[in-house]
Amino acid sequence: MTRTPTDRSGFTLMEVMVAVAIMSLIMVTIYTTLNTFIRTRDQLEIEAKAARVGPMILDLIENDLRSIWVMNIDEDKIFEGRPRILGGEHADSMVFLSTVDSIATRRIDDVELPSDLGETGYKLRVNPELPDVLELWRRQSFHIDENPLEDGYYERLYDRVVSFKVRYLETLDRFAERLDSW
């Protein structure tokens, strides 16, 4: 029995090459689509986190400012606000005395107690991992000392702050003159 050219079985080299090329195009398309989807999801997650974290940070700052200690202490060293620029953006800092229970504690008779009156402050620093944004840090000190801008415990609140500008007014009036610092 002899074989005829029409009895052959299998694929030719050309058919295999076309199938591999089509599969390669499909795989590249799937990879590109998946990669774009993952990057988009990550970006949306970052933006959603900022939308959640921002109001929480503003609430914390508001709570701290509402608890400012207003009694006269050593020549009115109660509040200090300084305008600063970091990386071309506003990076104001402020430090004040507040009655918020501090994160800093002292051990007294086997009990860790927070301070009822301490120094609280906010300051921005350059983010070492992302040089285009800043980090917002909150500082608290257990006690009041002569250098309210030094010592204490720092906690990073957020690492992707673009700008932090504090406005000071002479009086609580919408037409009040704005001050550069306090």
58 secondary structure, DSSP code: H
- Between 145 and 44, the more confident residue is 44
- Between 174 and 72, the more confident residue is 174
- Between 17 and 176, the more confident residue is 17
Local structure of 67: helix, strand or coil = coil
Segment 108-125, tens digit of pLDDT: 777 777 667 778 889 998
Phi and psi dihedrals of 146, rounded to 5? Answer: -80, -10
Segment 30-87, tens digit of pLDDT: 999 999 999 999 888 877 877 788 888 989 888 888 888 766 666 666 778 888 888 8
Alpha carbon distance 85, 13 (integer Å): 67
- Between 4 and 178, the more confident residue is 178
Alpha carbon distance 156, 107 (integer Å): 24
Q: Flag whether pLDDT at 134 surpasses 80.
A: yes
- Between 110 and 13, the more confident residue is 13
25-61 CB burial, b ≥16 within 10 A, e <16: eeeeeeeeeeeeeeeeeeeeeeeeeeeeeeeebeeeb
